[in-house]
């Protein structure tokens, strides 16, 4: 089971409807991906770096691409 299916199932079990799940799920996934970036970098990110990560995630880049961008 992938992370989106797991979160979706947990939200359904908690009583959330399809509309609430559909609108919340993308944001929840981006938050988890941003945390993955922080873990990969191995330190807390500055405000500017967090904004960079947020924008890159919204553009559809994956975690490894964002980490590579932060390391250059």
Domain span including residue 13: 3-71
The whole-number pLDDT of residue 72 equals 76
> With helix as H, strand as E and coil as C, how does the chain read?
CCHHHHHHHHHHHCCCCHHHHHHHHHHHHHHHHHHHHHHHHCCCCCHHHHHHHHHHHHHCCCHHHHHHHHHC
Is the whole model's pTM more than 0.75, yes or no?
Answer: yes
pLDDT, tens only, 26-69: 999 999 999 999 999 999 999 999 999 999 999 999 999 999 99
Number of domains in the chain: 1
């Amino acid at each position: 089971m992938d992370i989106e299916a797991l979160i979706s199932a947990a939200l359904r079990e908690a009583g959330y409807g399809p509309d609430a799940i559909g609108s919340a799920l993308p944001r929840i996934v981006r938050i988890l991906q941003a945390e993955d970036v922080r873990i990969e970098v191995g330190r807390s990110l500055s405000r500017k770096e967090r904004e960079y990560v947020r924008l890159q995630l919204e553009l559809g880049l994956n975690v490894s691409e964002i980490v590579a961008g932060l390391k250059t």
